[in-house]
Structure 1
Amino acid sequence: MVPETVTPPKKQRSEKSRPSIFWVLAGLIIPIGSLLARFRIVDGDKLPRTGAFILAPNHYSEIDPVMIGMVSWKLGRLPRFLAKESLFRVPVFGWFLRKSGQVPVSRGGSARGSAPLEAAQRIAAEGQIVIIYPEGSLTRDPDMWPMRGKTGAARMALENDLPVIPIAHWGTQQVMARYAKKISWFPRKTIDVKVGDPVDLSAFRGRPLDNSTLTEATAVIMDAITALLEDLRGEKAPAERWDPTKHDQKETGRFDG
């Protein structure tokens, strides 16, 4: 009897290994970003190397997307963000955004618009990831703890059955302070990063996606991000999450208070 020959499954190539516009972007950004900062990544193995999901970070510096994009690249995934629609009209930069699959969102809108939802469906179908800042803008919290989140990430996750992976980072403010216009080049900074387990949104699946459901799900996502940041900072966040509307603050735009 001839023994059965078992062909081992082919090792799936990471999306990072396939030629793409990201190679060009990485060649431009990674060397410069590495001069600015080094990363200490905790639980990087929790970031799925395959499959579609939403990566949800905290947000307190305008250079955050560059830093989180570098972390995503280092962990083997291609970073795709929800980006302000106006950025896509910037010469050259807008071309790179379009070619790399970034998702335009109107400044006054949310992830509820048709373009982001269509992008989420494509992301799920193609096994890609999208990075969404649940806070929607830089936190207004005086001590830079995550503030009250918006419902876009929760809606996209629940409507498209996508996991949400929380991630927190601390130290980016040393590279570029909140609302600063200049980058601090020297000395080289250290940014601590921690990846969390998928957020458990099972209690919300199958429920009507009304404002109550989405608000509750968003709070669960923000709790997960905040817990990670507490670990990185070694301190507890305020018991009540900062809400700009309770402090007569605008939801978007620069804030110097």
Structure 2
Amino acid sequence: MHSPSRSNRAYRNVARVLRPILMVVTKRDWRGTEHLPTDVGFIVASNHMTNVDPVTFAHYLWDNGFAPKILAKASLFKVPVVGAVLRATGQIPVYRNTTAAVDSLAAGVAAIEAGEAVAVFPEGTLTREPDLWPMAGKTGVARLALMTRAPVIPVAQWGAQDLLGRYSKWFKPIPPKKITVVAGPPVDLDDLYGRPLDNVTLREATERVMDAITALLEDVRGEKAPAVRYDMRKAVPPGEKRVGGDHATKPELP
């Protein structure tokens, strides 16, 4: 097949290695490709269940003509080999809780304005929801969307967790696993454009994106997600007791 027109040599070389492997170890159920814009830069936002789903997500986009610029945590860029690949293929490091965070946002905006597909996992990390439903998202995707007014395409993935379980180190390529990836229509954010980028606006936009992803995943799984979305900021880790409000926890003595 032809490589996406926006892919560089490094990206094409990586695809030549990974794509044949993915074609063998997966059975692909890909839907909703008609919703992926072909004439403008856009944001594509997916749920995040396992460390392998960025690869299956990229495979879906690559085979449909896009070389995604994925927002990935900055620590990955320091990992030998992995970091070199990320840099060579033009992925975007996300610097969390630092003054460099604005650089990540600026890089994402620049990529969208250049006509790229910018891939985002709004949850920011693997979901902690016990049954792998999407948890509460971070507001970075909303900020990026409202600053650029670019289309936000929601995507649901299911099946990648069978290749590599959440937190697992054991890759299970045999037998080939069914990977379902479904894109939906753009999330409607029109009424939020022009409003101040305060927490209320950013949370509203984020919730709409997460609602769209969750609805797609409900259809794929044939189940209903929990009525209240899991929120890491409010959850209490096992063995800890909440004191003094939502964010204060105190380890219990054994």
**TM-score of the two chains, using structure 1 as the length reference:** 0.86
Code of the residue aligned with 2:115 in structure 1: it is G
Cα 1:114–1:183 change in 2 (3 A) is same
Cα deviation for residue 60 of structure 1 reads: 0.7
RMSD, aligned CA:
2.1
Q: Which consecutive unaligned segments of at least 5 residues does structure 1 have?
A: 1-12, 252-257
Deviation larger for 208-217 or 31-40 = 31-40
Whole-angstrom CA distance in 2 between matches of 1:26 and 1:149: 29
Q: Which consecutive unaligned segments of at least 5 residues does structure 2 have?
A: 239-246, 248-254
Q: In the alignment, is the contact (CA less than 8 A) between 2:109 and 2:148 conserved in 1?
A: yes
Note the 1:105-184 alignment, pairs <5 A: 105-108=94-97, 113-184=101-172
In the alignment, what sits opposite 1:29? 18
Q: In the alignment, is the contact (CA less than 8 A) between 2:112 and 2:118 conserved in 1?
A: no
For the residue of structure 1 that corresponds to 2:69, the secondary structure is coil
Cα 1:102–1:236 change in 2 (3 A) is same
Whole-angstrom CA distance in 2 between matches of 1:120 and 1:197: 21
Whole-angstrom CA distance in 2 between matches of 1:88 and 1:58: 21
Cα 1:18–1:179 change in 2 (3 A) is closer
Q: Between Structure 1 and Structure 2, how many residues are aligned? A: 238
For the residue of structure 2 that corresponds to 1:140, the secondary structure is coil
**TM-score of the two chains, using structure 2 as the length reference:** 0.87
Whole-angstrom CA distance in 2 between matches of 1:18 and 1:137: 26
Note the 1:79-90 alignment, pairs <5 A: 79-90=68-79
Cα 1:201–1:109 change in 2 (3 A) is farther
Q: In the alignment, is the contact (CA less than 8 A) between 1:36 and 1:186 conserved in 2?
A: yes
Q: Runs in 1 of length 4+ with deviation above 4 angstroms?
A: none
In the alignment, what sits opposite 2:82? 93
Cα deviation for residue 88 of structure 1 reads: 1.6
How high is the sequence identity, in percent, across the aligned residues? Answer: 45
Whole-angstrom CA distance in 1 between matches of 2:22 and 2:234: 37
Whole-angstrom CA distance in 1 between matches of 2:173 and 2:125: 24
For the residue of structure 2 that corresponds to 1:245, the secondary structure is coil
Code of the residue aligned with 1:101 in structure 2: it is G
For the residue of structure 2 that corresponds to 1:94, the secondary structure is helix
Q: 1:239 aligns with which of 227, 234, 237?
A: 227
